[in-house]
Amino acid sequence: MFAFINLIVLISGVNGARILGIIPSPCYSHQAAFHQLWRELSLRGHQVTTITTHPLCDPTLTNLTEIDPTQFFENGTDLNVPRIVMATQVNIALGFREYFEQMADIMDKQFSCPPVKRLIDDPDAKFDLVMGEYFFGGVFAFAKRFGCPSIGIISLDGLSYQYTQAGSLSHSTSFPDYLVATGEPLTFSERVLSFLYALGIDLYVRQYNEIMQQRVVDKHFGRNYASVYEIFRNISSLFLNANSILHQIRPLVPGIIHLRGEFHRSPSKPLPKDLQAILDSAYNGIIYFSFGSNVKFEYLPPKLIEALSGTFAELPYTVLWKHELGFVRNKSDNVIVSKWLPQQDILRHPNIKLFITQGGLQSMDEAIYEHVPMIGIPFFGDQPYNVKKMVSKGFGLELDHRNLEKEELKATILEVINNPKYRNTIKELAELAQDQPMTGIEKAVWWTEYVIRHKGAKHLRSPLLDIPWYQYLLLDVIGVLVLSTLVIVCLVYFLIRKLVRFVKSRFLKKSVFREKKD
């Protein structure tokens, strides 16, 4: 017992470090993924400052200071999501390009708002650790500014190039990216696609993003301040929201930490009274329907909305519909529409039967750990992949929003609710994923404090980061071996030819001589 207490004291031996967290993406899901982490770190006595577009605004967290840059701009700093969706439909590289381009503009705005500018310019500002969204090199310029180590964090699994950037191996056939992989194992055409995709992302998307980010760094920190390429590779650790249910099993260097999908779940809170009453009295069961925060019903074709609301009208269940406008025309009485619903607490309710989702990672995580089967209607980003996994692992079914018919929707809903195999599968998978020595949030806190205690993790730096690309691809080794083999083969060939000629000439001479004699 005493040993145990000592251990706890030892482990929590970093007191009151100053942590700067920067998440530039103005998307609720990218931000909310880390709310529990900021909360937990501040409760442990660290002084946490975050630059965030979606602050927690919890006055009891006295050690948490939140800077919200959006309030300094008349029209906020939102992403133009429809444009990203449109570009993605052409191809994925253009989708990324659009996202990274918009983000560079947004970060330029965020970095020029007064409180962030003060952080950049004030010589008295000091931090012991910078944690930043690992899509954007610009945030790690702050680590150089404060001469402190940094940790990359992402609310999704990493892309292959991000694993490489953090020192891990990537391989397009064995560990394909989550945005291309569908089959297990990959078919030949999928392997070709995966290879071309990895090449395109690395040579085009990554480099393009680095150029955009370099401009932001040059503008706000000064020219030649830091190379974005370098600072991406200088992180001490990388936290990814990956789990064994939805993501590829991969080789990891010790600094890359897979937080499990439940790490961002908040502790359960009592539901609002009226909602609690609705859920408790829904004896036939509840369907929870949400397309998350990025897909807006406003922009969806009316035909799709009609199919949805027409189907719901024919069901014996209560449907809770999260809709950004808070109302749906001509809805039936069993449908309750609201602008905002406490998703996690609704999914925890025993009467919940089904979750209809766009396939966002965190929504799916939340449903998985509450053992709620799903129907996925994906739109863009990682959603199609997440939904494919849902179907192939057997805890849900997929529908296509482009040609959704009432009959099909109704049949799919009834299948997922009435066939127990979906709920049984999800329960089994969730229990497997949860059987680990630490929860995701404990892991994140432990590694954060580890990096603070040791002022970085140089001793864990992957050797991969310090060898040139031609050595990584073994080009020099293969080149020399091929060359020397060629030389040997040529030598042997010439020697044999010489020998043959020599023997032939001797033999011929002899025989000519003999002929003459005869």
Ligand X SMILES: *[C@@H]1O[C@H](CO)[C@@H](O)[C@H](O)[C@H]1NC(C)=O
When asked if residue 418 is in the footprint of ligand X (CB under 6 A), the reply is no
Considering the complex, state which of residue 170 and residue 309 has its C-beta at the smaller distance from ligand X: 309
For 159, phi then psi, to 5°, come to -80, 160
Q: Which stretch binds ligand X (CB under 6 A): 38-46, 86-94, 95-103, 459-467?
A: 38-46
Considering the complex, state which of residue 75 and residue 189 has its C-beta at the smaller distance from ligand X: 75
When asked if residue 71 is in the footprint of ligand X (CB under 6 A), the reply is no
Sole binder of ligand X in the list 12, 45, 432, 507 (CB under 6 A): 45
Spatial CA neighbour of 245 closest among 364, 347, 381, 384: 364
Ordered DSSP codes for 92-119: HHHHHHHHHHHHHHHHHHHHHSHHHHHH
User: In sequence order, which residues have a C-beta less than 8 Å from that of residue 63 and are 6 or more positions away?
Assistant: 42, 43, 45, 46, 47, 48
Burial class (CB in 10 A: 0-12, 13-18, 19+), 334: middle
Q: Nearest approach, Cβ of 39 to ligand X (angstroms)? A: 9
Considering the complex, state which of residue 171 and residue 455 has its C-beta at the smaller distance from ligand X: 455
The site string for ligand X over 323-362 (x = CB under 6 A, - otherwise) reads: -------x--------------------------------
Q: Pinpoint the alpha helices (H) of 242-301.
A: 273-281
Considering the complex, state which of residue 41 and residue 354 has its C-beta at the smaller distance from ligand X: 41
Q: Nearest approach, Cβ of 226 to ligand X (angstroms)? A: 5
* Contact predicate 202/161, CB 8 Å: yes
Q: Distance (Å, rounded) from C-alpha 443 to C-alpha 415?
A: 38
Q: Nearest approach, Cβ of 464 to ligand X (angstroms)? A: 17
Sole binder of ligand X in the list 18, 144, 215, 219 (CB under 6 A): 144
Q: Nearest approach, Cβ of 69 to ligand X (angstroms)? A: 14
Q: Nearest approach, Cβ of 309 to ligand X (angstroms)? A: 8
Q: Nearest approach, Cβ of 406 to ligand X (angstroms)? A: 11
When asked if residue 279 is in the footprint of ligand X (CB under 6 A), the reply is no
Q: Distance (Å, rounded) from C-alpha 161 to C-alpha 42?
A: 32
Q: Pinpoint the alpha helices (H) of 316-405.
A: 343-347, 361-369, 383-393
For 459, phi then psi, to 5°, come to -70, -15
Q: Distance (Å, rounded) from C-alpha 56 to C-alpha 33?
A: 12
When asked if residue 35 is in the footprint of ligand X (CB under 6 A), the reply is no
Q: Which stretch binds ligand X (CB under 6 A): 106-114, 231-239, 371-379, 486-494?
A: 231-239
- In DSSP terms, 154 is beta-bridged to 240
Spatial CA neighbour of 153 closest among 49, 34, 38: 34
Considering the complex, state which of residue 75 and residue 418 has its C-beta at the smaller distance from ligand X: 75
Q: Nearest approach, Cβ of 150 to ligand X (angstroms)? A: 7
Sole binder of ligand X in the list 93, 304, 313, 336 (CB under 6 A): 313
Q: Nearest approach, Cβ of 383 to ligand X (angstroms)? A: 28
Range 452-471, binding ligand X (CB under 6 A): 456
SS3 299: helix
Sole binder of ligand X in the list 25, 29, 36, 42 (CB under 6 A): 42
* Contact predicate 228/212, CB 8 Å: no
* Contact predicate 62/39, CB 8 Å: no
When asked if residue 147 is in the footprint of ligand X (CB under 6 A), the reply is yes
Q: Nearest approach, Cβ of 12 to ligand X (angstroms)? A: 12
Q: Catalog residues that contact ligand X under the rule CB under 6 A.
A: 16, 42-43, 45, 62-63, 74-75, 143-144, 147, 149, 226, 230-231, 234, 236, 306, 310, 313, 330, 456
